[in-house]
Structure 1
Amino acid sequence: MEIKTPKWIYEGFTAVQAIENVPHGLRLGLCTEETARLVREQRDPKMAEVLGDQGINFVILDGVRGLGPEIDMAEVRANVEISRALKEKGIRRVLYTQTIGQVISESFFQEIPEATNWMQRGPDGQVPTFGPKWWQYIPCLNNPDFMQYVKQMVRSVMEILDLDGIFTDLFGYFSYTCVCDHCRNRFRNYVDRKYLNPEARRARFGSLAVFDPPPFRTLGYTDYRTGIPDPYTILDPVSQEWIQFRCHRLGEVTRELNETIKTCNPEGILYVNYLFGGVPGLNNAAFHGAWPEFILPECDLFSAEVAGKPELLTNGIVKSRIVQMKVGKSFGIPVTPAVTRTDLADFKRLYLAEGMAFNTSPFDWVGQIKRDDPPSWMAKYLEFSRDNRNLLSNAETIADCTVLHSFESLSYTCEYPHQSAVLCEQSLMQENFTFNIIFDRDLNYLGKYRCLFLPNVVSMSEARAKTIAEYVKRGGCLVATEDTGVLNEFLQPWKGERYRREKSHILGELLGFEWPEEGTKFLEVDDGRVAIVGRVDRPDKAGGSISSDVQLSHSYGPEMPLYSFARELAVNHEEIVSALDYALGGERTLRIDAEGPVVGEITRNANGTFVHLLNWDEEGPIENIKVMVRMGGGERTETMELISPDLESRNETLAIDAKEGFWEFEVPQLCCYSIVMLRTQGS
């Protein structure tokens, strides 16, 4: 069955969630004396009228919480009238489900005794739980009886509520491993299919042995032979294959769920809560069995619930959800940044503006279903988003460079390459370089990218390295940092003996230059340009901090480091900037000269080219912003119009100065968000 994301998902949405639930809240100890009343109110059909008047056009109804089919389906049926009323108002409806994440063990097993066999099994026979909540068990996605139960549940709720889709929370394994018979057999079959002949199997594992799922009691170790300073390098080939197997399987499960939904409603969507949004900073492939290349092509919408809120740090660092949005854009689907625990009075304009500029289409999740009317500024922003959705949706970024997120480098390590990617991407955002995110699959189409950026991509196959080298020789631009390409796809060094390390940079050898250990190196190779940053200096070496000091954990197993954002720039931030400037020949797509924290993006669709300007400190308007935009080949701008949702701003036509391959213009004032529309001939 072909999975097609329905076109309505790109219309732009403002979503709320019905969060209150009595049975689930009671078991978790999260109810108040008012919970039952609040549940009745959030299910009142009159809410549809209120939400319509507020500009809300997408609702996550409360439903399946994993307490068992009898309890859960009673909660689902209680939503019939509100679901019908919302549909009559033209408001899209999905149902909250904890389809694969966890079950409340006591009530679930009372209703389905055999479900005790559906749960994951840890390496010592224990049942993984949802963190410290010992009563919340984690089911096994490889158990066919459990998956049959999940699909039947999806079919039932889609029919009962006539839904537009399913929102599935807690999307991932919530464990490092499972040693049940189903996982053991599936994993063995996966390895057998991948290594079909004895020679391939011996080359990978050193023997013809049959392997079970690894216990993951540790995250690996530092080995001096690799030449990379990562304390959590996963070198064991069985563990590497297990990580990849789980990611493949979660992708299959995503597809199976989406097919089930679309069998019920061809225009229905699968909406997953992909924790952390698939960005560097966390080895989510090992921790949750999740990697974007496997999940995002198979779903229609995803949430980055724990990505946090955009803000300006006191040292001028722009904290954002831009990378999550660019990951979604790589697969052509929106991400919903969730700000669910913030009162409307505390909302910032930036929360909505960020998605208008960077998301595949604007899609904001703004809290609980029962709430006050939106403030005047928010009403204006929602109106602006609706009126301009043809400008904001399905617009590609006109990118200076494309940053590679490579599976092996970010899935078999947990710290060193992750820190590099977080720091390099922060430098790009701070300096208003426009960029896209690509994945390994996209290396087959390198010719369409202006510049390839490899932030410490330590691991790559010889074939992949040759593809990149050929791209450079034919005129492509390359920026790479640190130990890019020092290991093959299995994290094995290219040269040396067991006790004699010999670091070899395969891209340097293929392109004929010596790789620097520090500083920068600029050179031309055939028709291409190459810039190497020998080292990305961590701010902690200068007494600072790269990110929050956070260690994540499951109910068992090792802690996983998390570098969710850069609290400071790399010490040699300027070297990263100069490397990209050299590769681009000094011709950035967008340059902004402003006395304040202005972040820019430039997008294009059939309706024109759009320069998005965001003031990350919306409390302090910025005046007289000078902007330069690199012209495309043969483009001629007829008009340049500035529009904004800010109540303090006015729409106006700007004067254009076209010279030396650039358009130049000045924006008189930026409060929070403005778009400059460059209308070219034929747009």
Structure 2
Amino acid sequence: MKRQKQNKEIMGHSFNLKMDLKNCLVLLVVIILLSATSTHCQPVLIQDKGDKYSWIQTARVFLLDAYQPPFAPELEYDAHALVDAMVDMNANVLRFGTMGKYATIQGIRFSVHPDQGKRDLLFETIKLCKEKGIKVIPYISTGHKLAWSMVTEDYPEYGQKSTPGGLPYRSHMYVGEDHGTVCWMTPYKEAFLDYVEHVVRDYDIDGIYFDAWFPHYFWKGKQVCYCEGCRQGFKRATGLQIPYHEKEEDYTGKENETIKKYHEWYNEEYITEVVQPVREMVKKYKDIPLISNINNPQKMAALDPRIVNAMDAFLYERGHTILERAEGVSVPRSLGLHILPYIGVYHNWPRLAFNGYNYQQQIFTNLMFGGGSIIAQPTGYIENSEHRKFIKYPFHIIQQNEEKLKDLKNYPNIGVVWADNSSEEHQKDSWNEGMTDARSSSLGAFSACLYGHIQVSSVSEFILDKPDLLAEYPVLYLANIPYISEERVRNIKEYVENGGCIVASYQTTLFDSKGKLQNYFGLEELLKVKPVKPKGELAEIINSYTAMVGGPNDLYLQITDEGTKAFKDISDSRLFPVWFYQPFEAMEGADILMNIVTGPDRKAILPGVVKSNYGKGQVIYCASALESLYNSGGQDIVQELILKIIEVVNKKPAPYTLTAPASLIANLTITDNRLVMHLTNWTGNKFEHPWRNEYYLAPVEDVSLQIQIPQGKKVKQVSTMVESDYNQRISGQTLELFFPRVESYQAIVIELE
């Protein structure tokens, strides 16, 4: 039953003074944060949580949201049928919606389904799950839009006022009634906090999931609310009124600045009054992981670090390629953060399941890079068992090997820094090869290594704030990253000075924090190069050797005499393609390994690749955006050069050598006395477009693998997670293995002593 509102009138100057002081403090924090952003002061750092809750790495999750059947429009939920399907398919965790259109639990100030009566769906589900050893993670509706009837009839005080005196934004989601938006500056906040406390205190749960921490979830347009809480709170904090016009074009520049300040004020209130108190509340009652949705690495990079610090693990709501999945799982794991990516995506037929090998191989890819797996829409399996095998088999492999998979981390070797921060000035476009920017470059560097069977991790940019984590990687790859802050530049210098090695390309650190081109590299001291603006004859040559479709035309990288010492197996007559490139001059201490030459006469017009030393470390800079070219076209000659450049600068021997086609992707994981080498086959449409179902998977034959055993260790036992014929022998510190055939997945477990 809806709780009656408490109307409290508190009079007196002391209350007003208290509120004024609070809002002044909020405004002061906002100003400090803005100042830190603009002057590059020390950022809020991502906290080390000690890699707790390792069970998430082998979590086999069914996701049951309450936005569509069996919870809406009619209530058809059968907990027994769900749990029976989970047991049959080897799932061990259920993420259960405590609210969707309506609440599924009792005792909170939100409306339940009209047909629910006194049923508490979470309670009855937990009872059945615990009998089968299944963990339960409740979904908490966190600022998400709710049933239209709830926010306009039952609890209208929760609704966002999208216009002065108006209603929430109304929109449709899935089958059933429409939804309306809510606002945190209304009584919704108090109801939400009571709701969270009730769930964590009163139910036997193993984690808690908060959807996405977006302060203006599903708000449209200017993302502004005109409720009393927003209007009065913002005015007390800033002395300003929230402007309103019916038409976008009627807002003045000053009014847009006011709205920007409103968003800053709102976000600060949201984090300090909701996000951070929620963590304290949960931990007060239970030592369980707080989990939230960051969708993909882009949003992780853009998220307020205080939100990242308030969580213990994250979810990806993504359905991209196997390559992007491998990359995306690797990013949070580089920080010791746990990740649960979707398997598949939501489709429009919740009563059907028609997935193929794509689901199976997505699970194996998550596993091999350290992530758990969430089946995005499992309701179709309850009545349709035909396609269960594509989930059941990989979940069985994980179930049988949980202890062997426990506490594994990706073996640190080549760390490609994930990036997506290109301004319009930094982006270059081509008809044939698409966009060249930070995203295509960092993905291209990662894929060149992955498909070339070089041990590689896609690492978060936050690792640049953590010298101890940075030091674990022999090579750091900065692929066309336009801007790196001064603090991070200092950390990178220290990393190289102490023996780390850098590969950097194209316009890495050539832009400022606002996306404007500079006349120097931020990493100039390491790279030992200076950008030049071509003039005279050089400018004419560059203009001439340009293609109408975008990019250079008939320009190549060719090895120099100095380069033959570094690239020992490359002929000095061999040519490699040049893609978008940055003209530069080499400074003192930089050895020119390759030049950019013209096609007809091999005339060197600019240096192309240089190598230099800094402290105990080495640095290679390549003027051309080769990684982006490889990401677009997958040219073997481009991949070859990228890997040769890494080989030149990397001082440490490769942890393994794999002879197999590019479609067999590999990742080596490690814990104190165990190595696990994962091999996942994707001979289906390897460069598939998202959400494509695959029903045939060709095996890979004649796979040869040599794994280097760490110094001071010896092999105690070798086993495989998938039963298979194979040959093995140990030669010194090298374990040699040969597999006549790898079907969908294989993992070699090496126990050390």
TM-score when normalising by structure 2: 0.65
Q: CA deviation at 1:251?
A: 6.2
Q: CA RMSD in A?
A: 4.6
Q: What residue in structure 1 maps to residue 604 of structure 2?
A: none
Matched-pair contact (CA < 8 Å) for 1:332–1:360:
no
Q: Can you give the 5+ residue segments of structure 1 that lack an aligned partner in the other structure?
A: 193-208, 219-235, 311-318, 495-502, 547-565
**1:71 aligned onto 2:84:** no
Does the CA-based 8 Å contact 1:16-1:365 persist in structure 2?
A: yes
**Structure 2 spans left out of the alignment, 5+ residues:** 1-46, 104-108, 250-255, 428-434, 532-580, 584-607, 685-696
Separation in 1, partners of 2:138, 2:499? 50
Of 600, 612, 627, which residue of structure 2 is paired with 1:523? 612
More displaced stretch, 366-375 vs 239-248 = 239-248
1:359 and 1:527 map into 2 onto residues whose CA distance is 32
Write the letter of the residue equivalent to 1:338: I
Contact 1:14 1:365 in 2 (8 A): no
Answer yes or no: is the 8 Å Cα contact 1:404–1:452 preserved in 2: yes
The question of whether the paired residues in 1 share the 8 Å contact of 2:658 and 2:703 is answered with yes
Aligned positions of 1:181-192 closer than 5 A: none
Cα distance change on mapping 1:513 and 1:637 into 2, 3 Å: farther
Q: Percent identity?
A: 16
SS of aligned partner of 1:620? coil
Instruction: Give the corresponding residue for 2:542.
Output: none
- Quote the offset at 1:55 in angstroms: 2.1
- In structure 1, what is the equivalent of residue 339 of structure 2? 334
- Deviation, 1:135, is 5.2
Q: Which amino acid aligns with 2:147?
A: I
2:297 to 244, 269, 278: 278
> Which residue of 472, 491, 508 corresponds with 2:524?
508
Question: What letter matches 2:668 in structure 1?
Answer: I
Whether 1:606 and 2:625 are equivalent positions in the alignment is no
Q: Which moved more, 1:16-25 or 1:485-494?
A: 16-25
Aligned equivalents of 1:250 and 1:587: distance in 2?
Answer: 49
Choose the corresponding residue for 2:724, options 650, 658, 678: 650
Distance 1:391 1:250 in 2: 41
Secondary structure at the aligned position of 1:654 is classed as strand
By how many angstroms is 1:284 displaced? 7.3
CA–CA distance in structure 1, aligned partners of residues 658 and 51 of structure 2? 36
Q: CA deviation at 1:395?
A: 0.9
Matched, 1:459 2:459: no
Change (3 A) 1:417 1:665: same
**Structure 1 residues 11-410: aligned runs within 5 Å:** 12-19=58-65, 36=74, 39-40=75-76, 42-45=77-80, 47-67=82-102, 69-72=109-112, 77-116=120-159, 118=160, 136-141=179-184, 143=185, 145-158=187-200, 161-172=203-214, 173-174=217-218, 178-180=223-225, 253-264=274-285, 266-275=286-295, 277-279=296-298, 290-291=302-303, 293-308=305-320, 310=322, 319-329=323-333, 330-339=335-344, 341=347, 343=353, 346-348=356-358, 349-361=360-372, 367-368=378-379, 370-373=382-385, 375=388, 378-405=391-418
Cα distance in 2, alignment partners of residues 292 and 668 from structure 1: 49
CA contact (8 A) 1:301 1:336 kept: no
Q: Which residue of 2 aligns with 1:429?
A: 450
Inter-CA distance 505–3: structure 2 relative to 1 (3 Å threshold): closer
**Aligned counterparts, 1:627-642, within 5 A:** 627-642=705-720
TM superposition shift of 1:505: 0.6
Does the residue aligned with 2:150 lie in a helix, a strand or coil?
Answer: helix
Instruction: Go from structure 1 to structure 2 and tell me whether the alpha carbon gap of 1:112 and 1:465 turns closer, same or farther (over 3 Å shift).
Output: same
Amino acid at match of 1:486: L
- Deviation at residue 250 of structure 1 after TM alignment: 7.0
2:265 and 2:289 map into 1 onto residues whose CA distance is 25
Amino acid at match of 2:656: L
Report the counterpart of residue 644 of structure 2 in structure 1: 578
Number of residue pairs matched by the alignment? 579
Q: Structure 1 length normalisation: TM-score?
A: 0.71
Q: Which moved more, 1:593-602 or 1:5-14?
A: 5-14
The amino acid across from 1:278 in the alignment is P
**Deviation of 1:571 (Å):** 8.9
Q: CA deviation at 1:186?
A: 8.6
Question: Cα gap change, 1:467/1:107 in structure 2, threshold over 3 Å: closer, same or farther?
Answer: closer
Q: State the alpha-carbon separation in 2 of the partners of residues 393 and 180 from structure 1.
A: 46
Task: Quote the Cα distance in structure 2 between the aligned partners of 1:131 and 1:567.
Answer: 40
Superposed CA offset, 1:587-619 (max 9, x none): 333332114511110010134111111111272
8 Å CA contact retained: 1:129, 1:135: yes
Task: Give the secondary-structure state (helix, strand or coil) at the position aligned to 2:343.
Answer: coil
Deviation at 1:183, TM superposition (A): 6.9
Give, in whole Å, the separation in 2 of the partners of 1:410 and 1:613. 37
Cα contact 1:401–1:451 (8 A) shared by 2: yes
The one-letter code matched in structure 1 to 2:342 is: P
Q: Which amino acid aligns with 1:396?
A: K
Question: What amino acid does structure 1 have at the position aligned with 2:459?
Answer: I
CA distance in 1, matches of 2:656, 2:240: 55
Letter in 2 for 1:676: I
Rounded Cα–Cα distance in structure 1 between residues aligned with 2:398 and 2:173:
41
Contact 2:471 2:500 in 1 (8 A): yes
**Contact kept in structure 1, 2:51 and 2:336, CA below 8 Å:** no
Shift of 1:674: 0.9
SS in structure 2 of the partner of residue 675 of structure 1: strand
Contact kept, 8 Å, 2:353 with 2:384, in 1: the verdict is no
Tell me by how many angstroms 1:624 deviates: 1.8
CA distance in 2: counterparts of 1:449 and 1:214, whole angstroms: 52
Whether the 8 Å contact between 2:416 and 2:476 is mirrored in structure 1 is: yes
Residues 315 and 342 of structure 2 are in contact (CA less than 8 Å); yes or no, is this contact kept in structure 1?
A: yes
Separation of aligned partners in 1, 2:582 and 2:192: 52
Counterpart residue identity of residue 356, structure 2:
D
Query: 1: CA distance between counterparts of 2:68 and 2:582?
Result: 59
1:238 Cα deviation (Å)?
A: 10
How many Å separate the matches in 2 of 1:509 and 1:569?
Answer: 32
Q: Would you say the 8 A contact 1:101–1:171 is kept in 2? A: no
